[in-house]
Amino acid sequence: GAVVSQHPSRVICKSGTSVKIECRSLDFQATTMFWYRQFPKQSLMLMATSNEGSKATYEQGVEKDKFLINHASLTLSTLTVTSAHPEDSSFYICSARGRGRADTQYFGPGTRLTVL
């Protein structure tokens, strides 16, 4: 199957700082990448959809100025949590969908963010 990586796997930061999470598709070109947030014992909640070279589309209730998404190339998307607060602590997971795999999303391993 397709391989999607995320970095870092876990990060601890102080309140007020910004954190950047990278998502890479390693063996295919991802025309679309998705960012999800998952709370303990819950399903995945879609935050935003990003297409390479264009602005991300955010889901209702997700602050675009707080969760900055950049999809500058066909293999890399980044999520920056700006001015993080303890309530932003969560498990963030990206997924990627690419040419030839149009209807299937492959997920990264996730990033555990803890804001102190």
Partner 1 sequence: GQQLNQSPQSMFIQEGEDVSMNCTSSSIFNTWLWYKQEPGEGPVLLIALYKAGELTSNGRLTAQFGITRKDSFLNISASIPSDVGIYFCAGQLTQGAQKLVFGQGTRLTINP
Q: How far, in whole angstroms, is CA 25 from its chain's centroid?
A: 12
Q: Is 61 in the site for partner 1 (CB under 8 A)?
A: no
**Residues 38 and 108 sit within 8 Å (Cβ to Cβ):** no
Q: Does the protein bind partner 1 through residue 105 (CB under 8 A)? A: yes
d(CA 11, CA 23): 15
Q: Which of 49, 80, 82, 89 binds partner 1 (CB under 8 A)?
A: 49
Contacts within 8 Å (CB) and 24+ apart, 50-56: 50/77
> Shortest gap between Cβ of 6 and partner 1 (angstroms)?
7
34 binds partner 1 (CB under 8 A): yes
Please state the closest distance from residue 106 (CB atom) to partner 1, in A: 6
Contact 18, 81 (CB under 8 A): yes
What residues make contact with partner 1 under the rule CB under 8 A?
1, 4, 6, 32, 34, 42-44, 46, 49, 91, 93, 95, 97, 102-110, 112
